């Protein structure tokens, strides 16, 4: 355990220029051990993403951006074409670590586009620009999450009971989180929420991570098993649900941590608004609907053995362990982005959000 026990004082994901390393908190060891890892090799970075040492869609995107910059600086050539080929190989490798969170490929594509735009310039200058782009992606994440927090906070009232599933918090981003951003901003403004965290089987991101970071921030947090949220909703204790997402399709269907769709179904039954907090980097307009989203399947041991002294299922039994499920768009009250809240029909409202984004980046470019 590190000397400082407040998890919010550590960077989830950062670049250490002096060591040329991706620095992350090892999330598999939380909440009992705060351990920082400095990763320099591509295999280490791939493993860290696959093993969920760094996890959560935006944090994975930032880790990939820093990771591919580190790969680029290790390519020893002055020839642009050779550089490009090796860069693409490294990018494909990192991209294969997890399939569902679109931020991974989004960040890698953004880095690759920079390489393409800089054709003709010295390789050393391209590597420098990749460094700056990775840091820009990291910095933008903070602003995006804060904007999501502001837009989400407008949907709730002081004293509300808020339910969240998995960890879409600071540990899944650079700061604020997405689903937790309205909670952090509410805390700054004295909203006094009662936060309920689903423990989130099988990897316990809610119990281990969300409740840890929110209680470190001094919030009123209660952990519950995944099969308990409907009972809270029936008692009227939940005023709104905020969840994150790994990939939102054009029609609003949303892939998020397994169990999210169950929460959405219960919320519909008990008339509780169900909000998906989505940076536009997690919205994949190239996919029409949820059936087009690849769902990661994970090892059986995560369900049968991981948290127990002895296996809790007979040896060899078949196990169903998808990491994510798809919540149908018609169960989602609104999708909270950094450019405002999208409401059904999502094909139209998400298109308008992207239009706003385009206008915004043109204005930013003009002001440069």
Residues that bind ligand MRU (CB under 6 A): 52, 55-58, 101, 166, 168, 172-173, 177-178, 205, 244-246, 256-257, 323
The smaller minimum CB distance to ligand MRU, of residues 87 and 253, is found at 253
Residues facing 336 on adjacent strands: 277, 341
Residues facing 25 on adjacent strands: 36
Matching residue, tokens 């490294």: 90
The smaller minimum CB distance to ligand MRU, of residues 128 and 140, is found at 140
Give the active site residue among 141, 160, 198, 246: 246
Question: Can you state the angle between helices 102-117 and 57-73, rounded to 10 degrees?
Answer: 40
The smaller minimum CB distance to ligand MRU, of residues 97 and 126, is found at 97
Nearest distance, CB of residue 243 and ligand MRU, angstroms: 6
Nearest distance, CB of residue 100 and ligand MRU, angstroms: 8
Structure-block tokens of residue 105: 């490929």
The smaller minimum CB distance to ligand MRU, of residues 84 and 183, is found at 183
The smaller minimum CB distance to ligand MRU, of residues 149 and 177, is found at 177
Nearest distance, CB of residue 218 and ligand MRU, angstroms: 21
Contact between residue 151 and residue 176 where contact means Cβ atoms under 8 Å apart: no
Nearest distance, CB of residue 363 and ligand MRU, angstroms: 26
Name the burial class of residue 359, with classes exposed (0-12), middle (13-18) and buried (19+) by CB atoms within 10 angstroms of its CB. exposed
Closest listed residue to residue 263, CA positions, set 293, 225, 295, 299: 225
Matching residue, tokens 């051990």: 33
Nearest distance, CB of residue 120 and ligand MRU, angstroms: 37
Residue 320 burial (CB count, 10 A): 8
CA distance 211 to 196: 8
Nearest distance, CB of residue 245 and ligand MRU, angstroms: 6
The smaller minimum CB distance to ligand MRU, of residues 180 and 239, is found at 180
Answer yes or no: 246 catalytic. Answer: yes
Relative to beta strand 13-16, strand 240-243 is: unpaired
- Strand order of the β-sheet with 340-342 is 220-224, 194-198, 161-164, 240-243, 274-277, 334-337, 340-342
DSSP string covering 339-361? TEEE-SSHHHHHHHHHHHHHHHH
- Listed in order, strand segments (DSSP E) in 193-264 are 194-198, 220-224, 240-243, 247-249, 254-257
- Which DSSP state fits 194? E
Contact between residue 10 and residue 34 where contact means Cβ atoms under 8 Å apart: yes
The smaller minimum CB distance to ligand MRU, of residues 178 and 239, is found at 178
Nearest distance, CB of residue 72 and ligand MRU, angstroms: 25
CA distance 283 to 103: 9
The residues that are catalytic are: 246
């Amino acid at each position: 355990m590190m000397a400082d026990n407040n998890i919010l004082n550590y960077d989830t994901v950062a670049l250490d220029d002096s060591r040329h390393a991706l620095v992350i908190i090892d999330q598999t060891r939380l909440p009992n051990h705060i351990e920082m890892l400095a990763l320099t090799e591509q295999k280490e970075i791939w493993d860290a993403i696959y093993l969920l040492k760094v996890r959560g869609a935006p944090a994975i995107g930032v880790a990939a951006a820093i990771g591919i910059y580190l790969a680029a600086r290790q390519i020893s050539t002055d020839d642009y074409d050779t550089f490009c080929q090796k860069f693409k190989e490294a990018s494909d490798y990192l991209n294969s670590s997890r399939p569902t969170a679109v931020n991974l490929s989004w960040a890698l594509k953004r880095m690759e586009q920079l390489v393409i735009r800089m054709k003709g310039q010295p390789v050393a200058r391209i590597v420098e620009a990749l460094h700056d782009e990775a840091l820009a992606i990291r910095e933008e994440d903070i602003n995006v999450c804060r904007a999501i927090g502001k837009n989400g906070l407008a949907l709730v009232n002081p004293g509300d009971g808020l339910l969240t599933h998995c960890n879409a918090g600071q540990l899944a981003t650079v700061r604020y989180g997405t689903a937790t951003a309205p909670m952090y901003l509410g805390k700054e403004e004295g909203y006094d929420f009662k936060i309920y965290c689903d423990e989130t089987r099988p990897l316990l991101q809610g119990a281990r991570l969300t409740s840890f970071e929110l209680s470190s921030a001094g919030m009123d947090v209660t952990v519950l098993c995944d099969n308990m949220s409907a009972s809270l909703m029936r008692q009227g204790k939940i005023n709104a649900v905020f969840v994150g997402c790994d990939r939102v399709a054009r029609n609003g269907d949303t892939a998020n941590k397994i169990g999210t769709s169950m929460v959405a179904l219960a919320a519909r039954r008990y008339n509780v608004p169900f909000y998906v907090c989505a940076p536009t980097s997690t919205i994949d307009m190239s996919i029409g609907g949820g059936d087009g989203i690849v769902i990661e399947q994970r090892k059986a041991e995560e369900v049968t053995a991981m948290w127990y002294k002895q296996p809790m299922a007979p040896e060899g039994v078949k196990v169903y362990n998808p990491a994510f499920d798809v919540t149908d768009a018609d169960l989602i009250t609104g999708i909270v982005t950094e450019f405002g809240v999208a409401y059904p029909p999502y094909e139209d409202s998400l298109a308008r959000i992207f239009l706003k984004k385009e206008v915004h980046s043109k204005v930013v470019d003009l002001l440069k």
